[in-house]
Every structure is written in C-alpha cells, then in structure tokens.
Structure 1
Amino acid sequence: MYNGLVEILLATYNGQDYIEKQIQSIIHQTYTNWNLLVSDDCSNDKTLDILYKYAKEDSRIKIISKGKRFGSAAKNFIFLLKNAQSEFVAFCDQDDYWHPDKLEVFLHNVIDAGGRENGPMLIYSDLRVVDQHGVLISESYYDMMKLNPYRNSLSNLLVQNIVTGCASMINRDLYRLILKHTIDCDKIVMHDWFIAVICAACGSLVYIDSPTIDYCQHITNVVGAKKFNLLKWIKKNDDNKVSIRNSVIQASYIYDNYKLYLSDESKKVLKNYASILSYSLIKRLFILIHYDLWKSNVLRRIGQIIYTLKV
C-alpha cells in the first residue's frame, strides 16, 4: 500500500459556515500522511480565524497565503498548484464533506492504474449531492446531472467538463506538465476543466464509480449541480453563446501553449475546435460530427448545435 505524502489544496473565501466541517472530515481521513495547503482569498468573515485554530492544533495544516487577492477560485487553485511538491495532489472545496476513506480510495485506484509510472494522470469520482443542511438531494451527481462520467476523451472534454475538481486527484507528471507555462486564468473557464482537457490530451483519466464526498449545494456556490433542462438552457441565449465561446478560447489557449506535448491526433482535434467559430456553419457542423465533439446526451447536443451555429 502506498504511504507517501499527499498534498490537499484548499482555496477559501468567506467560508465560515462550512469550513470547520470540511477540515474535520480531512482530519478524520483513514489515510493520515497528508498536508493541507490553504490559500485564503481575503475573506472578511471568520474563515481565517477558524483556519488558524486548526493549523495551531495540527501541523499538517499549512496556511500558505493570506491577504493576497485572487478574485477567482481558478486563480487561487493555480497558485496552490504552484506550491505543490508531492507525488499526488488532491483538490478540496471549502464547503464539502469528505467521506472518511476518500484519500485511501483514490490512492488505491491511482496506484492500480499506474499513476506512478504511466505519465500524466487524473483520477475522479462520483459525488453525493446534499443541501446546506446536509440533507441528501441525490446519491449520484452524475445521475442528477444526466452526465456520462465515462465520456472523458479529449473530444468530449473540450465541449463539456465532467470532472469536478473537489472529487479529483492528479499526479506529479500532470501538474508539472501544466506548470511548464505561466497560466493565464482569463483564458481558461475553470481550473478543473482546464486540467482535465490537458490530461485528456497528454495522459489518462480514471473514473471511480462511487461517491467519495458530499457535494454541498447552496446559494453562494461558484459552480453547482443543477438539473439539466433543455428549454431553460435554450432561453439562456447569451449565456450559452458565451459558454461555447469560452470553451473555444480555452481550447485555443491549450493548443497554443501545450502543442509540443500533444500527439498528432490530439493536435488535430484541439486545432479544429479552437478554430471552429471562424468557419462556415456547414463546416462547424462537420467538425462537431467528424471529431465527435459532443456533449453527454441528445438534448444537450441539440442545444450545442443551435448555439455553435449561432455564435
């Protein structure tokens, strides 16, 4: 059994109502060789007081940044990633609750999948969805969202993220590859999506078909689990155009900065999606079909076609 150090990256901002429960769930992990690296984005509530209390009691908890304004979770997590050194790194949200064996389950799966010798790797799991009081909403995030967690090819991930950062772990090969370039967070949609696309292009992804955290849904979530509804999605005309445009900008950014590390096939897929909005409507549709650039189900694909042709 693996017994090396695992670093857990926790980005915080005004999380006083949730942070204590999350830290407790980490402290009570069955796998105990971990360090929790915390970066606070200028919280103006009692988040830092709570963090300092636990850091004083447990030397594994290290506050590495405070008073530095990031302005987004993505920028905060990328900063944390730059400070990582361990062989495996897990991401952590301030408002969730880790199941006691989360780290143990992830390490078992990443070692079995060859995460120490097979190049860049990302492991991700299902999540139980709960409300702010801990009441169960769904036993499965993927069932609730009508997402197929196994659709993790580069083509699939370019158009739709299925990896939730708070239920993922990456190896050193992957984060060293990611950090070969200074990351412009204004060109990426979210850190977990960006990391998943790079891993799909240059490495491998492994899915754990069981929940390892309770994923909390509340009014202040930056990104949350919301049931998919096609009519509501179509009505959000401008938002959907922006979403597709941003996914294309992200693809272009990854192609421009990481093409030296890509296979010829990955280059082809990335380059075509990065250029899709410059093509005629017919060619846009051809590229979606030819490179299998589809979201998870038929309803989403209908919406995807509508807005890829309208942008």
Structure 2
Amino acid sequence: MPSRHPKVVILLATRNGAEFLREQLESFRAQTYANWELIVSDDGSTDATATIVGAFAASVTQRVVLRPGPQKGFWQNFVSLVRDGDSDGDLFAYSDQDDIWLPEKLDMAVAWFDAQSEGRPLLYFTRTELIDRDGAPLGFSPLFTRPPVFENAMVQNIGGGNTMVFNRAARLALQTTPVDAELVSHDWWTYQMITGIGGVAHYDPRPSLKYRQHGQNIVGSNIGLRARLVRLRAFANGRVVSWNTTNLAFLARIGSLLTPTNAVVLERFARARHASLPVRLYLIWRSGVYRQSAIENIGLFVGALFGRL
C-alpha cells in the first residue's frame, strides 16, 4: 500500500505570471495537507515572477526550488518538470500560475491514492470551479459521467492539467516518452499515456480549484456556446486532424507499452482516418473511441464522415 503521508511535489510552470501568481502560491500555503514541496520551472519571465517565488520560499517551511525552464513552450515546460531528477516525491501535481487551489485539493487527491494499490500507474483529476479575472464565480466545468479510459483519451482530453495528480509509477512511465516526441499538451499526453499502458485514471466530480478565465489562457473552460463553436471550428479548420496526427505519432512511438486491447483501439482508429467512407465509419465504431456527451459523439462521427479526424 502507498504511504499514508506521501510527499506531494507540486510542478509549477511559470512565464510572466506575476499578476496572479501570489494568489496561487498563497493557496498552496493554505492547503490542509502540508506534506508538499514546490518545484517552479520558469520559462524566461521578464516580470516579477522570480521575486514573488523567492519571497514565498522564504516564508514557508516547505522546500521550494526555482529553476530555469526550457523556453520552448508551455507543454515542454511541464514535460521538463516531469523529467526533472530534483523532484523526488510520492505524488506529483501539475500547477498553472494563475489559478487558486481550494484548501482541500491535495487532501482530496491523497485520500484517493491511499485507497489504491501502489504498483500501477495512477492518475487523479477533477472538475473545476470557474472564475473571471477578478475572482468572480462563472460556474463550473462540464460534469463528465463516462469512464476516463483510453477509448476516451484517444479523442478527448477531459483531464485539466491544473487538477492532475499522479503517482511515482505514472511519472516513471511518462519519463519513457522519447525526448524528441511532439505533443499537443502535457495533460492530454498524461491522460493518453497512463490509460494506454493500463494505468488507472480517476475523475473526481468535486472541484479542486478555481480556474481563472482571463482571456490569456492557453486552454479555456470548455463550456457554453462559445466553447462549442470553438470545437466546431477545430473540426472545420483541420485542427482536430493536426491534433490526432500529433497524438498518433506519439502513441506509435510508445506502442510496445500499450496493453494489447489498447493497441487494437489505436490501430483501428489510425486506419479509420485513411479508409474509404464506409470502412472509416465502421472502424471508428469498432475502435470503441468516444467523447463524453451524445452531441460530441455525433460530432465525432460527422467529423469521420467528412474525413476531418
């Protein structure tokens, strides 16, 4: 069984985050679970980010490390944190620079991990509460009800990286990714990798943080009419095709690590993208891939119908 008091390493990626960073760091201080340490990878900030991190480090008893990031983009920064040999812990939690963690965030995650068997890769993520730039409530992220498995991860990322916590076995698996692999995002990579190799992913419908929407987010809230229009445009303008191409290239490179069942899912989905129309729809169906809602599944098959996968 895992440790009953595991050390959680918070993996915080920053770049010019001074505007909201203090609130995020203070939410770490306010955690009801105190056995954590913080590794900050800063991607060349020119604002007060480093000063803010330094002041926070001097004010808490937990270990805080600030180191330079690779300066190749947001997901490369997070991947570098996963690979970092300085981040030695039992559990690992991604963090953005502009959210506010709820006080019980780490306690919720640790409680779930404590109930699991330690031997296999484990991934935990949650729903989020949405807030605007000034912290006013905007509602909640979608509530997902279908299982978080590889068939879903193939075509949809439901795990917000800012909520993700994973164990040592999951981190070791993620570190086997070729260093030159291209990814769409660090959280989709994590969801696909852990479920693909037979690990367990758990979606907690209880929000664990306040996800700030301020117009500069790399990824937005995924709710409402605007978000649906964005997803429709992604099908229409070829972004989904590009995402799937990138994901499939990555998954092909780790194909030997996939479970036999998931290898079949991958093979059928990959073949479907280049098959003739009747065969394309059949292979998508046989692959078992799915999105979380009925409307989105209709969109998936419409995308397949017009060759936009």
Alignment TM-score, normalising by the size of structure 2? 0.90
CA–CA separation in structure 1 for the residues paired with 2:88 and 2:272: 37
- Aligned partner of 1:213: which letter? L
Kindly tell me: are residues 298 and 167 of structure 1, through their superposed partners in 2, closer, same or farther at Cα, counting changes over 3 Å? Answer: same
Indicate which of 15, 19, 30 corresponds to 1:28.
Answer: 30
Gaps of 5+ in 1: none
**Offset of residue 239 of structure 1:** 5.9
Q: Deviations over 1:139-164 (max 9, x none)?
A: x3124xxxx25331211111011000
Q: Deviations over 1:40-99 (max 9, x none)?
A: 111121111111211233353533422x44232110000011123212101111111111
Indicate which of 124, 147, 151 corresponds to 2:147.
Answer: 151
CA–CA separation in structure 1 for the residues paired with 2:134 and 2:228: 30
Aligned residues: 301
CA–CA separation in structure 2 for the residues paired with 1:231 and 1:127: 18
CA–CA separation in structure 2 for the residues paired with 1:169 and 1:293: 24
Indicate which of 270, 274, 281 corresponds to 1:274.
Answer: 270
Contact 2:235 2:303 in 1 (8 A): no
CA–CA separation in structure 2 for the residues paired with 1:244 and 1:60: 44
Indicate which of 224, 243, 261 corresponds to 2:240.
Answer: 243
Q: Structure 1 segments of 4 or more deviating over 3 A?
A: 228-231, 237-240
**Offset of residue 36 of structure 1:** 0.5
Q: Deviations over 1:229-279 (max 9, x none)?
A: 49735762676522233124313321x222222221111111222333222
CA–CA separation in structure 1 for the residues paired with 2:147 and 2:237: 21
Matched, 1:189 2:205: no
Corresponding residue for residue 78 of structure 1: 79
Indicate which of 166, 169, 174 corresponds to 1:173.
Answer: 169
- Aligned partner of 2:112: which letter? N
Corresponding residue for residue 94 of structure 1: 97
Corresponding residue for residue 220 of structure 1: 216
Indicate which of 34, 55, 58 corresponds to 1:56.
Answer: 58
CA–CA separation in structure 2 for the residues paired with 1:245 and 1:59: 45
Matches of residues 255-266 of structure 1 in structure 2 within 5 Å?
Answer: 256-266=252-262
Gaps of 5+ in 2: none
Residue range with higher mean Cα deviation, 33-42 or 265-274: 265-274
Alignment TM-score, normalising by the size of structure 1? 0.89
The root-mean-square deviation of aligned C-alpha atoms, in Å, is 2.1
Identity percentage of aligned residues: 25
Indicate which of 249, 253, 269 corresponds to 1:252.
Answer: 249
CA–CA separation in structure 2 for the residues paired with 1:268 and 1:296: 21
Kindly tell me: are residues 246 and 283 of structure 1, through their superposed partners in 2, closer, same or farther at Cα, counting changes over 3 Å? Answer: same
CA–CA separation in structure 1 for the residues paired with 2:231 and 2:65: 43
CA–CA separation in structure 2 for the residues paired with 1:64 and 1:47: 10
Corresponding residue for residue 141 of structure 1: 141
CA–CA separation in structure 2 for the residues paired with 1:233 and 1:35: 37
Corresponding residue for residue 9 of structure 1: 11
CA–CA separation in structure 1 for the residues paired with 2:72 and 2:219: 15
Contact 2:264 2:287 in 1 (8 A): no
Kindly tell me: are residues 177 and 234 of structure 1, through their superposed partners in 2, closer, same or farther at Cα, counting changes over 3 Å? Answer: closer
Kindly tell me: are residues 171 and 231 of structure 1, through their superposed partners in 2, closer, same or farther at Cα, counting changes over 3 Å? Answer: closer
**Offset of residue 101 of structure 1:** 1.3
Contact 1:134 1:216 in 2 (8 A): yes
Indicate which of 282, 301, 310 corresponds to 2:307.
Answer: 310
Contact 1:252 1:271 in 2 (8 A): no
Corresponding residue for residue 107 of structure 2: 104
Contact 2:11 2:94 in 1 (8 A): yes
SS in structure 2 at match of 1:48: helix
CA–CA separation in structure 2 for the residues paired with 1:59 and 1:106: 22
Matched, 1:123 2:157: no
SS in structure 1 at match of 2:18: coil
Contact 1:113 1:206 in 2 (8 A): no
- Aligned partner of 1:303: which letter? G
Matched, 1:207 2:203: yes
Kindly tell me: are residues 71 and 181 of structure 1, through their superposed partners in 2, closer, same or farther at Cα, counting changes over 3 Å? Answer: closer
**Offset of residue 299 of structure 1:** 2.4
Corresponding residue for residue 162 of structure 1: 158
- Aligned partner of 1:259: which letter? G
CA–CA separation in structure 1 for the residues paired with 2:10 and 2:35: 11
SS in structure 1 at match of 2:111: helix
- Aligned partner of 1:310: which letter? G
